[in-house]
Structure 1
Amino acid sequence: MKKTIAIVSVGIRQMLADPVYIMFLIGLPIMMTWVMSFLPVEGGMYEMAALGVLVMFVALNIITSAGGYILEEKQNGTWHRILASSTSYWNIMAGYFIKLFMMAIMQSAVLLLSSKYLFGAPWNQGYLEMVVVLIVYIFTMTGLGLFLAGFLKSQGQIQAVAMAVVMIGTMLGGVFFPIDNSNTIIRVIASISPQSWAANTLKEILTVGVSLSSLLTPLLWMSVIGLLLLIGGVIKLQMEG
């Protein structure tokens, strides 16, 4: 456990010391949230757009961070040495997972607080339900990030796949615009996209107010996807060692 905590601590300090990473983690998402605040509040347009920014940037940050840091270790020739060290593989992966998870929690908190207190999002309820949904969504995206890290071979691949996966799941998932009259393919994407499930569930919580018991379907769906991806990614990375 001490080794896992050390991996998390060192990883977070490295991330927070990188000004480019901080800009991508906080600066750019806040700017996008500010832009979305000019949308009408009536009809829930601003709330949905702000939540869309949140789920989009959280996913992008997790996927690019997971793939980027593991790929950097491989390119520097240190990945195999890490796996061959006295630290168990599971402690190493737990450290990576917790590090990504904590940074995503931090980013989500900053975006939600800035939306409410800087840009006037009318959110006054459902905070417990919101936290639960965000934790499950971040778990799902962390699983996806580690899964892709096991298969992608270059920074260019990571960036391209991250953009494709996140943009398709967000834009065609009905997060930024309604899909009621869209074709079958778009509706199918929306029905499986974790971003779509997360954004729509968060909007329902914050604007209408729902209980946790009514959120079992989206929570279960995102949890199963995240678990399968996490298991696949961890096994693939272990095989490479």
Structure 2
Amino acid sequence: MRGILLARFSSFIRNPWVFGMFTGMSILFALIIGGSNHVAERITVPVYGDEVLKEDAIGELLAENDVYHFKWMDKEDLEETIRRGNAEAGVILDTDGFELIIGMESANVDLIKQTVAKIYSEKIQEENLLALSGAATEAEQTALREELKEAKAAPVFEVGNQSFHGSETFVFDNRLHSLFGFTLFFVIYTICYNVMPILIDKKNGVWDRMILSPMKKWEMYVANLIYSFFEGYLQILIIFLVFRYLVGVDFNGKLLGILLIFIPYAFAIVSLAIFLAAIVKNTQQFNAALPILAVSMAMIGGAFWPIEIVSSEFLLALSKINPLTYGMEALNGLVIYNLPLDQLLMPISILCLMGVAFMGVGIHLMERRHV
């Protein structure tokens, strides 16, 4: 087993170009399609209002929002931004209310409206409490506002949502979605092309000569699978380190969790590659089947667009047997929906189960054919 691993690593050092090509394509497509002009991974919403509102409680609450980056600008610039499609919606603020200018219909439009309406509601509640308290001086009103902030920070009741798909709406971040999707997509090629040497060795008789050597058959499989997993995971690691430390994406502080989620996904793809190698007869069929399989998985699994917009029951049923679907679900749940890892055990467990199933069936079929 050690000899196979040394041979594979030596081959990688001498010829890393295919690995570099797929890694570079993942980064390039994520940058081009996802864009690199988001502010702190929040969706930018143009806002217009006078300076009084900007310095008022409304301006402070807008600035403190963790989901949307409310960018103040002139009314003409706001309308031009919406007209060009650079923002999904814009907000024109007034003392007594606000006007929402919609550029394109999406789930974020309703969420933006709810966010701004909630801010106005909080302002009205604060003003009513100040009026009822009888605080006359500015110092008394400031002290009461601080007490209200402390009370909000420590609420009496805590409400939590334990369901990943518990709402009909969904939050969509094009930049993160593109990064996750293209990484999951291109790593399929990297891993599968590293499993293909098993087919080549069997065709050339190398596999038979190794069987006659003191090396055990399970060691031959494990060595190839370990190397395939290593190269696929190395690609993932490089991509996310580049986006974290060079592009400046902070992933909401969940980089370690992302890398942990990719472990069962990479294992599932390695197993899928073994299954594919077992059902094809030669490398030509493998090269023909792999692009069809990878692109189909990406389209059905939600790598190119959110799976939430798919309405076909047939395609949704197919997505349930697609490892990429559960990889996207776990990554979106961790980073975008801010769920802890213990609430993502279902997609992670399904990936592990798929890996075991594909591995077992693939090796069984491969051994039957070899006999």
Matches of 1:228 and 1:237, distance apart in 2 = 14
Query: Shift of the alpha carbon at 1:118?
Result: 3.1
Query: Shift of the alpha carbon at 1:126?
Result: 2.5
Q: Which residue of 2 aligns with 1:215?
A: 344
TM-score calculated relative to the size of structure 1? 0.89
8 A Cα contact 1:137 1:198, kept in partner:
yes
Letter in 2 for 1:150: A
Matches of 1:183 and 1:208, distance apart in 2 = 25
Q: Which residue of 1 aligns with 2:316?
A: 187
Q: Secondary structure at the match of 1:28?
A: helix
Query: Shift of the alpha carbon at 1:87?
Result: 0.2
Q: Which residue of 1 aligns with 2:210?
A: 82
Q: Any gaps of 5 or more consecutive residues in structure 2?
A: 44-171
8 A Cα contact 1:7 1:95, kept in partner:
yes
8 A Cα contact 2:303 2:324, kept in partner:
yes
Q: Which residue of 1 aligns with 2:120?
A: none
Q: Which residue of 2 aligns with 1:56?
A: 185
Residue correspondence of structure 1 range 113-152 to structure 2 within 5 A: 113-152=241-280
Residue correspondence of structure 1 range 225-236 to structure 2 within 5 A: 225-236=354-365
- Taking CA–CA contacts closer than 8 Å with sequence separation of 6 or more, which of the two structures ends up with the larger relative contact order? 1
Matches of 1:12 and 1:149, distance apart in 2 = 21
TM-score calculated relative to the size of structure 2? 0.59
8 A Cα contact 1:146 1:233, kept in partner:
yes
Counterpart among 269, 283, 289 of residue 161 in structure 1 = 289
8 A Cα contact 1:140 1:226, kept in partner:
yes
1:170 pairs with 2:295: no
Letter in 1 for 2:189: L
Query: Shift of the alpha carbon at 1:39?
Result: 6.8
Query: Shift of the alpha carbon at 1:139?
Result: 0.6
Matches of 1:220 and 1:17, distance apart in 2 = 37
Identify the range of structure 1 (36-45 vs 69-78) with the bigger mean alpha-carbon deviation.
Answer: 36-45
Structure 1 pair 22/63, CA: closer, same or farther in 2 (3 Å)? closer
Q: Which residue of 2 aligns with 1:200?
A: 329
Matches of 1:38 and 1:131, distance apart in 2 = 22
* Deviation sequence 1:89-109 (CA, Å, 0-9, x none): 011111011111111110110
Matches of 2:314 and 2:269, distance apart in 1 = 22
Letter in 2 for 1:35: I
Counterpart among 194, 201, 206 of residue 65 in structure 1 = 194
Matches of 1:238 and 1:186, distance apart in 2 = 33
8 A Cα contact 2:181 2:303, kept in partner:
yes
- Larger Rg, first or second structure (1 or 2): 2
Which segments of structure 1 move beyond 6 Å, counting only runs of 4 or more? Answer: none
Query: Shift of the alpha carbon at 1:195?
Result: 0.7
Q: Which residue of 1 aligns with 2:15?
A: 18
Matches of 1:13 and 1:48, distance apart in 2 = 35
Q: Any gaps of 5 or more consecutive residues in structure 1?
A: none
8 A Cα contact 2:334 2:341, kept in partner:
no
Matches of 2:248 and 2:293, distance apart in 1 = 30
* Deviation sequence 1:158-197 (CA, Å, 0-9, x none): 1222112221111122222133342112211223321121
Q: Which residue of 2 aligns with 1:107?
A: 235
Identify the range of structure 1 (228-237 vs 218-227) with the bigger mean alpha-carbon deviation.
Answer: 228-237
Q: Secondary structure at the match of 2:339?
A: coil
Matches of 2:204 and 2:305, distance apart in 1 = 43
Counterpart among 6, 9, 19 of residue 9 in structure 1 = 6
Identify the range of structure 1 (11-20 vs 143-152) with the bigger mean alpha-carbon deviation.
Answer: 11-20
Matches of 2:361 and 2:321, distance apart in 1 = 18
